[in-house]
Amino acid sequence: MSRLASAITNYQSNNNGKLPGPGEVKAPSEESAEGTWPCSESTVKTNPACNIIRTYMNSVNASENEFKDPGGNSYGLIIVPYSAELAMPTTYDRTPIIVTGASCNNDGLGGVKSSNNKRDYAIVFMLEGSGLYCSDSQ
């Protein structure tokens, strides 16, 4: 997840401090063929989640998703703005969530709260074993 945080920092550096807009890339099921993923060159321009993975997480000219877990399975990515009704993940699905305008609750439960700074973000991820991990930009 630190690699994802670095990618967001690089994105902000290249975009006058702004965070990416909402977007989603689903992680392929472990049973499906790896290497086929929905982030084409044209999708990068319309889906901020594809842009983060393809431009900031992958090596140059990567033909497949290189944002993978230690077992070699591709991660997905969801980017959403903070909302009080935001549902936290409850099952492990290899899909971190970047919540813009948020910071971690630091209550040990992995939830997020609204931030007063629109450049803040929290990364929320359901761990494989159990529990919710939260890391923020603060």
Kindly report, residue by residue over 12-65, the tens digit of the pLDDT. Answer: 999 999 999 999 998 877 666 555 567 777 888 899 998 998 889 887 767 677
* Average pLDDT, rounded, for the chain: 86
How is residue 71 written in tokens? Answer: 């077992």
Residue 108 pLDDT greater than 80, yes or no? no
Amino acid letter for position 67: F
> CB-side exposure of 93: number of CA atoms within 13 Å?
15
Q: What is the pLDDT of residue 131?
A: 85
Q: How far apart are CA 19 and CA 120, in angstroms?
A: 8
State pTM to two decimals. 0.89
Please give the residue that has the higher pLDDT: either 107 or 134.
134
Condensed to tens digits (0 to 9), the pLDDT of residues 57-98 reads: 887 767 677 888 888 888 899 999 999 888 888 888 889 999
Residues 6 or more apart in contact with residue 43 via CB below 8 angstroms: 50
Residue 136 pLDDT greater than 70, yes or no? yes
Q: What is the pLDDT of residue 52?
A: 92
Distance of CA 74 to CAs 21, 63, 107, 110, Å? Answer: 22, 13, 29, 23
Q: What is the pLDDT of residue 17?
A: 93
Q: How far apart are CA 120 and CA 114, in angstroms?
A: 9
Residues 6 or more apart in contact with residue 29 via CB below 8 angstroms: none
Q: What is the pLDDT of residue 47?
A: 93
How is residue 25 written in tokens? Answer: 């890339």
